[in-house]
Amino acid sequence: MKTLYHKFLSFFHSIEGNIAFYPAFLSFMGFNFAMLMLFLEKKGISTIIIEQVPELVINNADTAKTLLSFLTGGIISIMVFSFSMVMVLLNQAASNFSPRVLPGLISKRNHQYVLGLYLATILYNTFTLVGINPREDDKYQLPGFSVLLGIILTVLCFFAFLYFIHSISQSIQVNNILDNIYTKAKRRLQGIIDRENEEAPSFPETENWQNYYSQETGYLQTFTSVNLKNICLENDLKIRVLPIPGIFVLKGIPLIKVNKKIDDDMVSNILSNFNFSRGEFVEDNYALAFKQITEIGVKAMSPGINDPGTAINTIDYLTELFAIRMQKNDDTILSSDHQSLIYINTVNFKELLYQVMLSYRNYCKHDMTCVQKLFTMLKYLLLQQTPNKIYHNSLVNEAKLLKEDAMASINNSGDRKRIEELYKSLPDKRD
């Protein structure tokens, strides 16, 4: 039962980020609410309201039908406008920043709530309209209270529309996009670091272990660690996850290594705890945040945009993320009662830093403001405390490469002198 519960949580997490999830759920709730109100109208709820506050209840069938039709048409109009505006802004974001930021924008939960409210109100008003009998003009026979609720929901839709315009306009601003990516990655990284502090520090060699292969194709997003730990404890197993979480896995390639041979049922049980998708999400893969922020910075330095200010902003966010990443070990081991059970391959700090700096060195080496900012980032990171002192070696090596590329691209003697000074000012923490 516990295993099914954790699998359900994992499945819910995988579909929750879908843009259609909350709108579909709220639409379903709107339909059910309409059915509930039709049932209550049969029980005479409008009669009770008429006797208490008759001013709030519409007592004419034609007026009620006209009003609901008018309000429903208005909601459809603002919903179409909202979708059109979203498409225009998403196209702008893809052109100016990076197409990879689009999933984060379209899956923003507040926007889904607004779209869900639109759809729920349309369904509610439609079924309430169906419940009005045109041959009954008796005020005690009309669903007056249901019509009143439809008016209230429509007014809420108008306020939600104003909020939606404000929110989507804010979301498209580069600082908000960067902050959103940074916040998700920081939360993910911090969770991993906190978990590492509780885990066992070592894991046995896996060279002679049994390989078992992926049965699906897609991005390896998450796996249910609680279930896998229980499987390991109950069957005296140790597992090594071979692909780095977040990368694209093809069907038939090695997915896990196990310390002993297991039967097909056990293999299926283990593999059922791995979740694959066709998209990448920062919430599941913090390394994607480095990639997205780097792409925004590099895109800003393209000739068509030429925005060094945005590139500098991206370096600021990367500096903070790298400082947090330096608190994490390159090895991720899950354990229970100080017994190592699962080893997870992760992107090591050296490779992550190299890939980020490679992009900036290629596209920003000619811009002195960006070069200065990159040296400032490396200097700050060299001053950070870290459980793995080898990280400092990687930082010093990247500083050397940055200096070489910048000196080869910048001919101004004053700027070249400044580059030398920045390089020499770096603290020497090579181990």
- Could you tell me if 139 and 239 lie in one domain? no
* Residue at token pair 């924008």: 105
Strand duo 248-249 + 274-277: pairing: unpaired
Q: Domain check: are 188 and 213 in the same one? A: no
Q: Which residues fall within 8 angstroms of residue 348, CB to CB, at 6 or more apart?
A: 330
- Distance (Å) of CA 137 to CA 51, 56, 61, 377, 407: 17, 17, 6, 74, 86
What string of DSSP letters covers 86-144?
HHHHHHHHHHHT-GGGHHHHHT-HHHHHHHHHHHHHHHHHHHHHHT--TT---TTTS-H
| Helix ranges (DSSP H) in 141-276 | 144-171, 174-196, 225-235, 264-271
Q: Give domain status of residue 2, yes or no.
A: yes
Q: Is 181 exposed, middle or buried (0-12, 13-18, 19+ CB in 10 A)?
A: buried
- Label residue 15 by pLDDT band (50, 70, 90): low
Query: For residues 258 and 237, what is the distance between their CA atoms, to the nearest angstrom?
Result: 7
Residue-level pLDDT at 7:
55
Question: What tens digit of pLDDT does each residue of 313-323 get?
Answer: 999 999 999 99
More confident residue, 330 or 321: 321
And the tokens for 383? 């001053």
Query: Could you give the 3-state DSSP secondary structure of residue 199?
Result: coil
Q: What is the pLDDT of residue 131?
A: 78
Give yes or no for a contact between 240 and 273, defined as CB atoms under 8 angstroms apart. Answer: no
Q: Bigger pLDDT: 152 or 85?
A: 152
Handedness of CA 308, 309, 315, 318 (dihedral sign): negative
Q: How far apart are CA 47 and CA 54, in angstroms?
A: 9
In the prediction, which pLDDT does 403 show? Answer: 92
- pLDDT, tens digit (0-9, with 9 covering 90-100), for 258-314: 988 888 888 888 888 888 877 666 677 788 889 889 988 988 888 777 788 889 999
User: Is there a single domain that holds both residue 251 and residue 124?
Assistant: no
Q: What's the pLDDT score for residue 156?
A: 94
pLDDT, residue 104, reads 65
Query: Residue 324: pLDDT above 90?
Result: yes
User: Beta strands 239-241 and 339-344: pairing type?
Assistant: parallel
Q: What is the pLDDT of residue 140?
A: 47
Half-sphere exposure of residue 404: CA atoms within 13 angstroms, side-chain side: 8
Question: What tens digit of pLDDT does each residue of 46-105 get?
Answer: 777 777 777 777 777 788 888 888 888 989 998 888 878 777 777 777 776 766 666 666
Extract the tokens encoding 158: 């108008």
Instruction: Check whether residue 112 and residue 165 sit in a common domain.
Output: yes
Are 316 and 271 contained in the same domain? no
Q: Are residues 137 and 5 in the same domain?
A: yes
- Mean pLDDT along residues 354-366: 91
CB 273 within 8 A of CB 220: no
Q: What's the sign of the alpha-carbon dihedral 394, 399, 405, 408?
A: negative
Examine the pLDDT at 2 and tell me if it is beyond 60: no
Smallest Cα–Cα separation from 214: which of 157, 257, 154? 257
Tell the residue number behind the tokens 């939960």, with chain if given.
109
Rounded CA separation 29/359 (Å): 47
- Kindly tell me if the per-residue pLDDT of 364 is higher than 50: yes
332-346 CB burial, b ≥16 within 10 A, e <16: bbbbbeeebbbbbeb
Among 160, 177, 85, 83, which residue's Cα sits nearest to residue 121?
Answer: 160
Say how far apart CA 83 and CA 77 lie, in whole Å.
Answer: 10
| Residues 394 and 349: beta-carbon distance below 8 Å | yes
Give CA–CA dist 51/151, Å, rounded.
20
Q: What is the pLDDT of residue 357?
A: 94
| Distance (Å, whole) CA 7 – CA 394 | 39
Determine contact, residues 360/374, Cβ cutoff 8 Å: yes
Quickly tell me which residue has 């879908």 as its tokens. 18
Q: SS3 for 255?
A: strand
Confidence at 40, pLDDT banded by 50, 70, 90? confident
Does 283 reside within a domain?
Answer: no
d(Cα 199, Cα 241) in Å, to the nearest integer?
16
Number of domains in the chain: 3
Domain end residue (candidates: 253, 277, 301):
277
Tokens of 200: 């066992």
Single-letter amino acid, residue 353:
L
Residue 5 has pLDDT above 60, yes or no: no
Identify the weakest region by mean pLDDT among 87-91, 143-147, 174-178: 87-91
pLDDT-based confidence at 201, cuts 50/70/90?
Answer: low
Q: Which of 104-108, 251-255, 259-263, 374-378 bottoms out in mean pLDDT, i.e. has the lowest? A: 104-108
Question: Does a structural domain hold residue 399?
Answer: yes
With a cut of 80, say whether residue 365 has pLDDT above it: yes
Same domain, 57 and 142: yes
pLDDT band of 141, cuts 50, 70, 90? low
* Higher pLDDT pick, 98 / 356: 356
Residue 343 has pLDDT above 80, yes or no: yes
Q: Answer with the residue of higher pLDDT: 10 or 105.
A: 105
Q: CA torsion sign, 409 to 394 to 188 to 212?
A: positive
Q: Is 430 part of a structural domain of the chain?
A: no
Q: Which of 5-9, 63-67, 343-347, 408-412 has the highest mean pLDDT?
A: 408-412
Q: Based on the domain organization, do 330 and 381 belong to the same domain?
A: yes
Flag whether 236 is in a domain.
yes
User: CATH no. for residue 258?
Assistant: 3.90.1170.30
Domain of 33, in residue numbers: 1-172
Is residue 163 in a domain?
A: yes
- Both 38 and 135 in one domain: the answer is yes
128 pLDDT higher than 90:
no
Would 201 be classed as within a structural domain? no
Query: Which residue, chain included where needed, has tokens 């038939």?
Result: 252
Same domain, 311 and 413: yes
Give the torsion through C-alpha atoms of 262, 264, 265, 270, to 10 deg: 70
Between strands 332-336 and 248-249, the pairing is unpaired
99 found inside a domain = yes
The verdict on 272 and 224 lying in the same domain is yes
What is the structure's pLDDT at 395?
Answer: 93
As a whole number, the mean pLDDT across the chain is 83
Same domain, 86 and 151: yes
